[in-house]
Amino acid sequence: MKERPLIKGVEVVVLEDIENDPDLAKQTILDKLQIGKGEPLIIGVDPGRRIGIVGYYGNSEVFGEVVTSADEAAGAIMKLLKLAQKRTKIVRIGNGNPKLAGQIAETLTMRSKDVQIEIVDERGTSAKVARPNIRGARDVSSARMIAFRHGWHYGTPDG
């Protein structure tokens, strides 16, 4: 960190920028290097017994994780939102579990004022595979599809 000022004219990523949260290291690096500059942060959420969460800058996936509670989901999403301070932020939540989707959306609404929340029709997002859902791969895959579907703004009659 002390050597950062010695390098002029280039955005520098140092170990201290990413060591505190390895899950968000890729997002931090892409943001510092301005990859996808001007692109919104789009987060897809597949709510259920296992909650799949993905984050994208444009077409670059920066985050993918499975959590098991609404609180964990809100925490992971808030970390993503915090790092994307100057970007447009869109969170798209699948409607397969309306109660859980509403709980996550309400928590995000209370904790972040500059995020657009959409409820998305998630029909057809679950992959039909013969193998068991190893480490939540199916949930993350569904969250990827949800991220790129447009939905209804949370709080409107349809959402």
For 73-86, the pLDDT digits (tens) are 999 999 889 877 77
Q: Are 107 and 74 in contact (CB under 8 A)?
A: yes
Mean pLDDT of the chain: 82
The dotted CATH code for 39-153 is 3.30.420.140
Q: How far is CA 1 from CA 7, 15, 17, 19, 28, in A?
A: 11, 8, 9, 12, 15
Answer left, alpha or beta for residue 56, where phi above 0 means left and psi between -120 and 50 means alpha. Answer: beta
DSSP 47: -
> Which of 23-27, 63-67, 112-116, 147-151 shows the lowest mean pLDDT across its residues?
23-27
